[in-house]
Chains A and B, each alone.
Chain A
Amino acid sequence: MNKFIVKDLMVPLSEYATVQEGSTLFEAVLALEKAQEEFDYEHTPYHHRAILILNKDKRVIGKLSQLGVLRAILPKNELTQQIEDISRFGFSTSLINSLREKYRLEEGILDDIYKKATRMKVEDYMQTPSEGEYVDEMTSIDTAMYQIVIGTHLSLIVTRGDKIVGLLRMSDVFAAVFHAMKSGELTE
Chain B
Amino acid sequence: MLETALALGVTPVAGAELRLFAKAAVEPAIPAGVADIGLRGGLSYEALYAAKPDLILSSPWYAAREAILARIAPVASYSIYEPGRPPYVPAEAATRALGERLGRRAEADALIAAAASEFEAGRARLARFATRPLLIINLGDPRHFRAFGDESMFVDAAKRLGLSSAWVARTAFGAFPTVGVEALAGMPDAFVVNVGPSPRDALDALGSSPLWRAMPQIANGRIVALDPVNAYGGIPAARRFARLLVEALSAHAEG
Q: Do A and B come from one complex?
A: no
